Structure 1
Amino acid sequence: MRKARVTCGLLVLAPVLGACGMGGADSADGGGGGAGGERAVVIDEPFGPAAGWALETDDSFVLSKVGCLETLVRREADGSIEPMLATSWEQVEPTAWEFDLRTGVSFQNGEPMDAEAVAGALTHALDVTAPASVFAPETVTGVAPVDEDTVRITTAEPDHLMPERLSTPNTGVLAPGAYGESATDPRATCTGPFTIVEEVPQQSVRLERNAAYWGGEVRLDAAEVRFVTDATLRATQIQTGEAQISRKMPITSVTALTETDGVTVETTELSRTTQLVLNNARAPFDDERVRRAVQAAVDTAEISDAVYPGASRPAVGPFAPDEPFAPTGAEPVTADPEAAAALFEEAGVDPGSLDLTLTVYTEGTGFADLAAVIQEQLRSAGVSVEIETADYASVEPRLLDGDFDMALLSRNHLGDMPDPLGFLTADYSCDGGFNLTQLCDPAVDELITRARGTADRDARYALYAQLAADLQERAVNVFLVHETETVAHSGVTGFTLHPYYTLTADLALADG
């Protein structure tokens, strides 16, 4: 049976958009010289909405990045949490939290954002067919208004991460009229600094300033956000001035961008790891020795240098070595052909008898080159690998159903909230909604359950580190590289590289 879809690690992608979007902001003067001197920008995002703006899907992250959707709690770039639509919160009982709402906030259609509206929005998030794992009935048992400005959230068990859960765009708040039977309508139903005024499905949205924004001055008049899956095109549009901000620059374009006058290039390490997913539920990867043999045959240092030069480092597990939940002293696995051969022999498996398929989605950065390198490395170990390539939307159902041998995956372990509990639950628990490895181990589930019930952050992080070390040691997956993201921008001020927000009230034209 197909598992419920989880968000954040992968975004379902939209088709590539050509050089021109809806017009208006895509003028030859770079988007800042619209009619009547309109202060407008063009932003290229690699991913667009694909599920009718349903907030339980990755569409919520798109809606947040375009400056429309807001949450009760704001996640800062460093992972800390601050007030947003809520001003304070308290765990009033072991299984109950209360959130005090910001007063005087209205949805873009003028309706008040009060406790009844917020409770309705969060209840809708629980009642959908496939709730986001970060805010689901298994954890949250109910949401109700206490008074006009206070919302009470009850949980099945004591939950110490409710503020973190409510920082994810999956828990964004829209006006009651936004939620239709077959689709979600974000037009005029957000609270953010920008409101959607036009949409070209799967290509772009045009937004205008929310003059009544609760957060103060919105410095731009308008913006066009384009969903451009072609990374080279995104880079080109920055160089030509057709866009002012472009995310996820291809490695091959970084040098040219840094040499382009007026273009600023920023690179940051992500909470994201590229991995070779092994299907633990079927042969040959149901045998730990075979998984470890493949792990020993893969040279992560070569992959980092050849495929992601200057944009990654060899992985030490699911978490980067300087993250607080990585095992102390964690090191990358070193390629060891002799150990690989010995492990195959111990398992009674002739590597020459293996004919495996590596599933690769086209939108993965550098995945074509990465797949070719892995194919050659495993060929050197005697394993034959056929590469199967398709867009992510095509391969996702089979990945979720476990109908594959190996797959490449780029996964963000802090994508849903600033704590890896959601990632570990979704990816490695028996009932995890994104458990592509098909792992089901009671010991792993017990560790995750202990972490969920641990209030002390350091103690919880120690449990995460224990689990990360186990995943690496048993080669549940082959963790390849820890990733960085490069963003290019030109002619703007007030831009901050953030996983949830791109178009913000602080963003402005440099000369405006």
Structure 2
Amino acid sequence: MSFQVSRRALGLGAAGALAAPSLLRAQAGGQTLTIATGGSITSVDPHFFNAAPNSSLALHIFGTLVERTHDAKLIPGLATSWRAVEPQLWEFKLREGVKWHDGRDFTAEDVAFTVTRAPNVPNSPGGFGGFLRSIERTEVVDPHTIRFRTRYPNPILPTEMASIFIISKHVGEGASTEDYNSGRAAIGTGAYRLSSYRPGDRTELVRNEEFWGEKEPWARVSYRFVANDAARTAALLAGDFDMVDQVSSSDLARLKREPRVAVSETVGLRVVYLMPDFSRQESPPGVTDNNGQPLARNPFHDVRVRQALNMAINRQAIAERVMEGQATATSQWLPPGVFSHADDVRVVGQDIERARRLLAEAGFPQGFRLTLHTPNDRFPNDSRIAQAVAQYWTRIGVQTQVDALPWASFSARSNRQEFAIRLTSWGSVTAEAGYMLANIMMTYDAQRRTGASNSGRFSSPELDRMVSEAVAVIDDAQREKALQDCVRWVAREVPIIPLVQLNHTWATRRGLSYQARMDERTVAMGVKPAQG
């Protein structure tokens, strides 16, 4: 198994080749590109938190061995080629002549350092260990060749390495997350350098004139966080921003008719789902009986309760009314046509009476009370989806109130198991089922690097075994079948409750275009002067 192709051969030419002469003249002197994102960036440290907003920013500053195109295909990045030397040994050839932002040479030692550091960042609310769990040993062959010895055959290691941002050893040794946030350690190989970072507000970037790839048309990029959907749209129409992401469903139809803007959209790989707390045997915080007293046992450990909550929800109504058509109802976490999607796992239909019977069988004939926690600024309509779910659960006797929080607070508290049940989301950037299984549903184990984002602390030895066996299958067809068996197991046992698959949408001012990405990354490198 091997891969080698040049970036230029793929047609990823200079941005200027796409631009009209008048627009190029308007860019004389170095234009600033302004982007408003609806996703809160919690750190510049590229290994602190495996969350899409953080990774979108990191893509500007840092490089990966393998890159992804807008449609999730793999292309060379800091590695020019890769091959499986043996079933448990991968070799990557590194790009020569690449410089860090401080002028030092990029080498295999930096990659080896990264692989050691990425899974072990202190206080990470959800790290990158899941991508690296198969690597047993790293071997530096020469300055531009590195090998990874894996614990088991891992046919998708190049896919996983596409999510690991490479950092410099000479700067990174001893550096903390705060050193990256301050800019001291934010030395990458990417198309842009960090100028400043203000948490909860904005990040300023300047073009890396020594970048190994094609030169970017933007001399500066102002990457700003604007939580409110309507405010992002209004600012775009007022000319305050060149591009906005996470266009709200309520604004989309109007923007498509607006001649001053262009809209880009694609079916995404992100699922919105619910995850209960499994970390406690007794009542989790926020769960009581109808008189407000703690329960003697955690109801979520009973599969009948999980199934009842699952079938109480009208997913189609959420997709059509709450999301206004910008999402698809689902009971799994990948869209049809994607590797390991199980066609026989149908969308669970709403069945209020059966849900009530299941609750009664589980010992809760009168239901119970709970608080559903949700972010209110992470993805379109997040808190509105939670309100809809709360109404459905109340109909079966589970009296539900919603507590909506900013993403930065929500993610930290969720990681500390402070919630009875949370509404959140996950983007399967590897475009296969194993990624979410390993990170969200396998048992949390820091040493084995499984369950890195398993905030509910679900644990099943049976599922752990199934996933471990599935991801190690070399033959693609057999691996897909094994992963589909895992998808069916999850649909039956309901450790998570998938709701909808999101579409991803961006809007740019007239004269610019953006290539919509399935991995939902919002990057300046994808903004080009429009053709014609």
TM-score by length of 1: 0.85
Select 1:354's aligned residue among 354, 368, 380: 368
Give runs of aligned pairs for residues 246-261 of structure 1, distance below 5 A: 246-261=244-259
Give the drift of 1:127.
Answer: 4.9
| Contact 2:339–2:433 (Cα < 8 Å) also in 1 | no
Q: Give the stretch that moved more between structures: 326-335 or 316-325.
A: 316-325
Count residues with an aligned counterpart: 476
Query: Using a 3 Å threshold, how does the CA distance of structure 1 residues 175 and 262 change in structure 2: closer, same or farther?
Result: farther
Residue 450 of structure 1 pairs with residue 484 of structure 2: no
The superposition leaves residues 327-346 of structure 1 with CA deviations (integer Å, 9 ceiling, x where unpaired) of 12332111112211222232
Matches within 5 A, 1:6-45: 37-45=29-37
Residues 384-431 of structure 1 show CA distances to partners (whole Å, capped at 9, x for unaligned) of 1122222233333443344432221122123xx343323211111122
Q: What is the DSSP-based 3-state SS (H/G/I as helix, E as strand, rest coil) of the residue aligned with 1:289?
A: helix
Q: How many angstroms apart in 2 are the aligned matches of 1:497 and 1:301? A: 25
Distance in 2 separating the partners of 1:480 and 1:211: 44
User: Secondary structure in 2 aligned to 1:389?
Assistant: strand
CA distance in 2, matches of 1:199, 1:116: 28
Which amino acid letter does the alignment assign opposite residue 359 of structure 1? H
Deviations 1:347-398 (A, max 9, x none): 2321x34111111222242133222222222222222112222223333344
AA at the equivalent of 1:90 = R
Matches of residues 182-197 of structure 1 in structure 2 within 5 Å? Answer: 182=176, 183-184=179-180, 185=183, 189-197=187-195
CA contact under 8 A between 1:186 and 1:196: conserved in structure 2?
A: no
* Counterpart residue identity of residue 384, structure 1: Q
Residue 83 of structure 2 is aligned to residue 68 of structure 1? no
Partner of 1:359: helix, strand, or coil? strand
SS in structure 1 at match of 2:105:
coil
Partner of 1:487: 506
Among candidates 361, 368, 377, match of residue 363 of structure 1: 377
Query: What is aligned with 1:172?
Result: 166
User: How far is 1:263 from its partner?
Assistant: 0.5
The superposition leaves residues 33-54 of structure 1 with CA deviations (integer Å, 9 ceiling, x where unpaired) of 68x7432211112234423524
Q: Secondary structure at the match of 1:298?
A: coil
Structure 2 counterpart SS, 1:303: helix
Q: 1:207 to 1:393 in 2, by over 3 A?
A: closer
Call closer, same or farther: CA 1:269–1:510 in 2, change over 3 Å: closer
Q: Report the Cα distance in structure 2 between the residues aligned to 1:190 and 1:68, rounded to whole angstroms.
A: 5
SS in 2 for 1:98: strand
**Unmatched 5+ stretches in structure 1:** 1-29
Partner residue, 1:111: 104
Aligned mate of 2:73, from 72, 80, 94: 80
- Give the direction of change, closer, same or farther, for the CA distance of 1:393–1:208 in structure 2 (3 Å limit): closer
Q: What pairs up with 1:319-334 in 2 under 5 angstroms?
A: 319-334=334-349
Aligned equivalent of 1:291, options 306, 325, 337:
306
Find out whether 1:46 has 2:41 as its counterpart: no
SS at match of 1:285: helix
Q: Which amino acid aligns with 1:92?
A: V
Q: Which moved more, 1:184-193 or 1:100-109?
A: 184-193
8 A Cα contact 2:504 2:516, kept in partner: no
- Contact 1:44 1:245 (8 Å CA) reproduced: yes
**C-alpha deviations, 1:191-230, integer Å up to 9, x for none?**
2222223333442222222222211332222221112222
1:90-239 to 2 correspondences below 5 Å: 90-129=83-122, 132-136=128-132, 138-168=133-163, 170-174=164-168, 176-182=170-176, 183-184=179-180, 185=183, 189-239=187-237
Greater CA deviation, 200-209 or 358-367?
200-209
- Report matched runs for 1:353-432 at 5 Å: 353-364=367-378, 365-414=380-429, 417-431=430-444, 432=451
Deviation at 1:488, TM superposition (A): 0.5
1:465 maps to which residue? 484
Question: Mean Cα displacement is larger for which, 253-262 or 177-186?
Answer: 177-186
- Segments of 5+ residues of structure 2 without an aligned counterpart are 1-22, 282-297, 445-450
| Separation in 2, partners of 1:403, 1:166 | 32
**CA, structure 1 residues 311+126, in 2 after alignment: closer, same or farther (shift >3 Å)?**
closer
CA distance in 2, matches of 1:176, 1:336: 59
Instruction: Please identify, of 299-308 and 365-374, the stretch whose mean Cα deviation from structure 2 is larger.
Output: 365-374
**RMSD of Structure 2 on Structure 1 (CA):** 2.7
Question: What is the DSSP-based 3-state SS (H/G/I as helix, E as strand, rest coil) of the residue aligned with 1:134?
Answer: helix
Q: CA deviation at 1:180?
A: 4.5
SS of aligned partner of 2:129: coil
Distance 2:192 2:416 in 1: 38
The residue that corresponds to 2:20 in the other structure is none
State the SS of the aligned residue for 1:253.
helix
State the identity %.
Answer: 23
